[in-house]
Amino acid sequence: MNAKYVFITGGVVSSLGKGIIAASLAKLLQARGLRVTIQKFDPYINIDPGTLNPYEHGECYVTDDGAETDLDLGHYERFLGVPTSQANNVTTGRVYYTVITHEREGAYLGKTVQIVPHITDEIKRRMLLLGQTGKYDVIITEVGGTVGDMESLPFIEAMRQLQWELPEGDCMCIHLTLVPYLSAAKEIKTKPTQHSVQQLQHAGVMPDVIVCRTEHPLGPELRRKIALFCNVKPGHVIESQDAWSIYQVPLNMHAEHLDDLVVRQLGIENFNQPDLGRWKDFLENLQNPFQEVNIGLVGKYVALQDAYKSIQEAFVHAGAACRCKVKVHLFLSDDITADNVAGKLSGMNGILVAPGFGERGLEGKIHAIKYVRENGIPFLGICLGMQMCVAEYARNVIGWVDASSTELNPKTTHPVIDLMEEQKKTTLKGGTMRLGAYECKLTPGSLAAKIYGSELIHERHRHRYEFNGKYAADFAAAGLVASGTNPSTGLVEVVELPNHPFFIGVQFHPEYKSTPENPHPLFVALVKAALEKNARG
Ligand code: GLN
C-alpha cells in the first residue's frame, strides 16, 4: 500500500486542539494495526521554537534526536508511544533557510526564486519525506495556524498541489472549526464554519471531513446544514464536544466514526476495529482515583498552563498509575522568600522544581529546595531544578555561601554548576545546547537505580550548564551523591540525598518520555513518595 496522507487544517480561531484531533485520529488508526506518524508544519519564521520564551507557544518539546519542537509533538508521542524526530516538525523559517541556502549554492542558477514553485516545492518535499521512508502507512500532517492567515498560505498551496499530484485516493483533508454557542440567543452558530471552509475552498482545497469543536451537541439538523453549505457529505460532519480529558478524545472520535471515514476515504483495506484496551484501562484509572496528593510545581512560567505541558501530563499518567488524583499547584518562584516559603508550601506532599533559564525567580527556587530538604518533603528537581538543588546544598549545608551556577553568577567563588566544555566555543543561541537522548549509568543500589529498575537509561537533555565534577567528592562527603553519570563523558546527570525520604535531581528531562501507557518511573515514584508523606503527615 502507498503511504496515505491526511492533512488537518484549522479555521475560525486558534487553540482549537488540532494537535489533539491529529493525535486522536493517529491513535485510532494505530489501534487498528496501521503504522502511523504525525508531523506539524508551523508558519513562523523561527527555524525552531528553541529560542522562544515558553509564554509564546508553550513549552519547547525535545525529541530523541535532539530536535527542539512544538509542544504538539509531545501530544503525538504521548498518544502514539512512538518517538518523533526533527522531520516531524517543520517551520516556515526552516523551509526558507533551505531554499535560500540552495540559492546561494547556485542550485537555481538563472532562475528567479519564488514562493511558487520553490518554497512550495520545498514544503511538499518535506510533507512527503516521512512517507518515503517506508516506515509508515499513514502520515498525518497538522498545518499550524488558522486558515486565512497570510503566514500559512504557502502550506495550504502545497497541500492543494499534492492533492493533484498524489495518486487518486491517497490524500485527504480534515478541517477543524469552531461552532460557537451564543448564550444570549441560545443558538449554535454555523456561519464562522461556513466562512472558514469558503476560505479553504478559495485556496483550492476541498475538505473531506469537517470536525466541529462545540460546547453543545450539534444535532442532525445542524450537521445537515454544515454539510450543505460546506460541500461535504452529511456523514462527514463530525462533532467534537469538550471532553473531560484530552485522552478521552480518541474514544469520542471513534464514537463519531472518524477513523471509519478516514480508512474508507483513503481506500485502506482495514476492517479491524481499534483495539484500545490499555488506553481504556488508563482512562478508567484516571477517572476513578482512590486517593489524592498535592504536588507543588515551582517555576517561573506559571501564568501559562502550556509552559510546563509535559510535566503536567506526566503527573496525569503517574496519577492514573497510582490510582491517585494528583493536584498540581503552580508556584511562581519569584514570589517565594525565606519568610513565606513555609506558609506557601505547607500543604504540599511533594515538590517539583522546574527547568528554566536565566536569573529571574532563582532565589525562590533555592528557598523552596531548602524547605523541602529540611522537612523531609519528597523532591524532584529537573534540569535547572537539579542545578539549583546542588547550589542550595553547597550554600546551606557545605557553607559555600555564594555557590551558584555560572549562568547566574559568573563571578561566584564556587561554580558548582558550570558551562559544559563543548559549550565554551559556542556563540550562536539556536539549536546549540546539549540536546536529545544520552545514556546514563546509574549507581547500583541508588534511589535512581531502584526507581528505574535498571542501571542503564536513556533520557533527553536540553541544557548548556552542568554539575561541576571538580566538587563531586566534596558533595559526596557532605551527603549529596552523584548517582547517575554519562558513561562516555563522565558528566553527572543525577544527584540524590540518601538521608532524605525522597530527594532527587536530574539533569535530563524525564517528562518528555512519559505516556499514558508507559508512565515515567520518576513521576510515579514522586507520586508514591508524596502519598507516603501524606500518610505520615
Ligand atoms: N539554564 C540551564 C542550562 O542551560 C538549565 C536548562 C533547563 O532547565 N532546561 O543548563
Label residue 119 by pLDDT band (50, 70, 90). Answer: very high
pLDDT band at residue 422 under the 50/70/90 scheme = confident
499-509: average pLDDT: 97
Q: Which residues contact 114 (CB under 8 A, 6 or more apart)?
A: none
Cα separation of 460 and 66, whole Å? 8
Whether 463 sits among the annotated catalytic residues: the reply is: no
Going from the Cα of 426 to the center of ligand 1, the distance in angstroms, rounded, reads 15
Atom of ligand 1 nearest to the CA of 385: 8
What the block records as the C-alpha cell of 405 is 551556577
359 is catalytic: no
Distance of alpha carbon 302 from alpha carbon 121, whole angstroms: 40
340 phi/psi in degrees, rounded to 5: -100, -5
Going by alpha carbons, the residue nearest to atom 1 of ligand 1 is 357
Q: Catalytic residue at 329? A: no
| Active-site choice (322, 383, 389, 440) | 383
Length of the chain as a residue count: 537
| Ligand 1 geometric centre to CA of 463 (Å) | 4
**pTM reported for the whole predicted model:** 0.95
Distance CA 315, CA 532 (A): 16
**pLDDT at position 385, please?**
97
Write phi, then psi, for 90 (nearest 5 degrees): -125, 135
- Considering only CA atoms, which of 300, 321, 385 is closest in space to residue 351? 385
User: Any residues with Cβ below 6 Å from ligand 1, and which?
Assistant: 355-357, 383-384, 407, 462-465
Give the mutation target among 297, 357, 429 for probing the ligand 1 site: most ligand atoms within 8 A of CB: 357
- Distance (Å, whole) CA 82 – CA 77: 6
Q: In terms of DSSP H, where are the helices of 2-132?
A: 18-31, 54-57, 72-80, 92-105, 120-129
Mean pLDDT of the chain: 94
How far is ligand 1, taken at its centre, from the CA of residue 117, in Å? 41
Classify strands 434-442 and 481-485 as parallel, antiparallel or unpaired: antiparallel
pLDDT at position 79 over 90 = yes
Residue closest via CA to ligand 1's atom 5 equals: 384
Distance 464 CA to ligand 1 centre (A): 6
pLDDT at 391: 97
Task: Find the mean pLDDT for residues 471-480.
Answer: 96
Task: With a cut of 90, say whether residue 362 has pLDDT above it.
Answer: no
User: Which atom of ligand 1 is nearest the CA belonging to 465?
Assistant: 10
Q: For residue range 156-171, what is the model confidence (pLDDT) as tens digits? A: 999 999 999 999 999 9
Residue 270 pLDDT exceeds 80: no
